[in-house]
Structure 1
Amino acid sequence: MAAPDAPSAEDSYTCRYGWTRGTARAAAGSGLIAAAALGKLLFAAGGTPETVCFALAAAGSLLSTALVAGVATARRVALRIGPEGILLGTPVRHLGRPVLVPWEEVAAVEVRGTAAPVVRVRRRTAPTVQRALGTVAAVDGERVRGAVARHAPGVLPIVSGPTPPRS
């Protein structure tokens, strides 16, 4: 049984992948390119090289839009700082596995940037673990500092960049 003053799971900080201004811009931009390319295809005749290029642009833009929308709507965990350690997630299941670094191994936690944050966990004996959260996650630096202080007072939190506004 944990001590009465020990941090609980409710004290955890969790950041999820989701819709941000960056993902909305990426999805809208890809969608506009796809719409323009498909519109051009509707007016083009025959199998000219120009038509083939526009078809490929449309297909690529539609795929990009679907990927961004899929990542944003999945709401997978990007970062969790809790009693068990630091969990660095991944936006798409097949691109990698989440990594859990227990507090015993953590020497420092770095969060760099706010538009496309990068989280780096420096380990005491093992190699550093790093994840670029990209534009699909917004990290609150103050809450990161607070969660690290609650769960591992001896670990140094390094947060650079302004804290994003809460929504």
Structure 2
Amino acid sequence: MGSGGQIVRVALAAGMVALAGMAAAGPCREDVVKLRGDGDQARFRVELADEEAEQRQGLMNRDSLASGAGMLFVYPEPQRVAFWMKNTRIPLDMIFLDAGGTVQKVHHEAVPHDETPIFGGDNIQSVLEINGGLARRIGIEAGWELRHPAIDQDRAAWPCSAAE
């Protein structure tokens, strides 16, 4: 993944673990993201891509993902980001978040192998990829909040220290 306007290779991700009214267990963990909005919650088991080499590779060339899995891309600073689906075999939803972990945009059902850039916007600091169609089924949309220790806790809309 690159910075400012650079098209980045996309990885894939998948699955939902829990929905509305879910009681999440334990403190923030690096391998779990939680999302909340409109009284609903979702939880995904994630691989963290916070280094350039991990971001370039992502989850390309994988044929399947376990249910409830995803990939969280985290950039050192907010920036303009774009993805493509080259070498990605599984349809994805891409959830673009600002520095506080608030969803700014959701791109639904990116098409495998499509090289058309998918722009997430400016001032994006992280991107969560999940199975295509899942964000719509859960109801994830702009304004939802993501909880994860990679989010700057001083800026986090939903900090790890806050009650569920």
Q: TM-score range by the shorter chain?
A: under 0.3
Higher relative contact order (CA 8 A, sep 6+): 2
Greater helix share, 1 or 2? 1
Structure with larger Rg = 1
Q: Give TM-score, length-normalised by structure 2.
A: 0.25
